[in-house]
Amino acid sequence: MGYAAQRVQVAVSPGQTTVLNLVLRPESIPLDSLVISGQAQAAELQRARSDLSVAVQFATPEELQRARITDLAAAVQFAAPPDFNTESYAHIQENDFHLVSASPLSTFSIDVDRASYANVRRFIQSGDRPPIDAVRIEEMINYFPYDWGNVRGDHPFSVTTEVWEAPWKREHRLVRIGLHAESIDTGDLPPGNLVFLLDVSGSMMPPNKLPLLKKAFGLLVDQLRPEDRVAVVVYAGAAGLVLPSTPGDRKGEILAALDDLQAGGSTAGGAGLRLAYDVARKHYIDGGNNRVILATDGDFNVGASSDAEMVRLIEKERESGTFLTVLGFGTGNLKDSKMEQIADHGNGNFHYVDGLLEARKVLVEEMGGTLLTLASDVKLQVEFNPARAAGYRLIGYENRLLADEDFNDDTKDAGELGAGHTVTALYEVVPARVEVPRGDVDAFRYQPQPDDPPLSDFDGELMYVKVRYKDPGGTRSKLLERPVADRLRSPSTDFRFAAAVAGFGMLLRDSEHAGDLTLDDVVALAEKGKGDDPRGYRGELIRLVEAARDLRLLDRKADEGESWQRRWQ
């Protein structure tokens, strides 16, 4: 309805695939042929909405009556389909407390993704409560830059620790472990072989998708140098190379290729990935930054789209030195779980871009960390001293947990640390002789049950932190290790702020471990931890918490008629 009919003859040959691209061409709609009533199909009304509104502007009352249009606006509004949301998030089972006597080791891979915070911000700014599984606390904490001081020694990053009272349960300890990679000036980055893999399917048409994507990548193009190279691959119904690998100083050509992109068609994500990796391989730079940057709403729905198949392809390519960065755009069909998974397997990172300011943060201010890896397969293992700790839980990192034996296994994949990246991990530790909040477990039959925790030669130590990593392209890991003293000290402003973000995340996730913490407590804690905030990121977090409080987003959750009372006032 509203488009011209077409007839196209196609020659089909045995054993070959023939691709036919069809473009709908609008035509004027004879007003007399339109019948708008309560029985009209919603899809027809939606497609004809713009044409009808134009036609009615020039129609006489007699023409409208002949066409039986009595209340066009009401009819279109009534029949238009509701917003259809297919966003998906991986289920997260919150980490619980472990007994040090039973599980003295905690092992996990670092995470430098930032997507969750920007996505949570998008929901709250729209007046909605984020889905619980959209809240990944470690990504929220690591969204913010922290001041760890200079990096010294033979390693590309430093390790720092702090111990404080847990704001939500004062008898517990809160331990902050921080990794800080050295920053590298943009001009000192190794040459880049970049392939922009851009989703131009029909779902990318809204302003917060492809139009925003063009502007975002334009910011990155402005940072390119003559020694850098950029190719542009797009995919919709089929994948195609719209710009061959081009030197970075030919910015006009690159920007023109981006500007010409139009959205339409279905989504052949698998074919696009294969073509992008092929292009990256042909222009591989030894010692350079070889990377595919995928920008999409995550809607892989045509072609080689199975998660397992894509993961195998991405893992194969990462071994050859080509990494993957994923940028998510838009709302309504964001496939957060799929994008996070392929970024993790591609030795890259995942960001959600909800506006031009976020694009500048990711692609300009943090370009070194986004595009240059300093340490690969970074893993942490913490051993708790039973003389000082009865139990512990890792806050966040639920989808980054590793088996204890994986720590010394150099074949196990883990997270990457980029230039200037900071990584914060928080442990809530239950001191010795304090009851560990967990479900009842029967007493062991065969294991000793001492009334008091054992004495230790390391009685002043709360825990022992070990970090393993590889140099980019390396196969053997290196080890850093250091003890953490059981000494409470006045927390740094960064520690206060990280604790505030963790508390906010626990409240958004309706965590049973949040205790009596309230949003007002989070605001007060974040204000004390605001410190020097030149970019305003921390101030924005405070405003988000206040918005969630004022909108009463956490008071009650109703879903398909089911609701339950929450504890917040």
Q: What digits encode the pLDDT tens for the residues 32-42? A: 444 444 333 44
Query: What are the pLDDT digits (tens) for 343-389?
Result: 888 888 899 999 999 999 998 888 776 778 889 999 999 999 999 99
Beta bridge partners of 316: none
**pLDDT score for 74:** 36
Q: How many Å apart are CA 213 and CA 193, to the nearest integer?
A: 20
Q: How many Å apart are CA 334 and CA 356, to the nearest integer?
A: 18
Q: Which domains does the chain have, with CATH numbers?
A: 1-82 (no CATH), 98-184+375-438+457-565 (2.60.40.1230), 186-368 (3.40.50.410)
**pLDDT score for 518:** 96
The alpha carbon torsion through 104, 110, 113, 114 (nearest 10 deg) reads: 60
Residues of the chain with pLDDT under 70: 1-2, 28-84, 237-238, 265-269, 299-307, 369, 448-455, 556-569
Cα 96 to Cα 127, 246, 383, 530, 556, distances in angstroms: 30, 50, 17, 29, 24
- Residue 165's identity, in one-letter code, is E
Q: What is the pTM of this model?
A: 0.81
**pLDDT score for 82:** 44
CB atoms within 10 A of CB 118: 21
**pLDDT score for 268:** 62
**pLDDT score for 45:** 45
Beta bridge partners of 98: 392
Pairing of strands 239-247, 229-235: antiparallel
Cα 416 to Cα 36, 52, 157, 430, 444, distances in angstroms: 57, 53, 12, 30, 40
**pLDDT score for 359:** 93
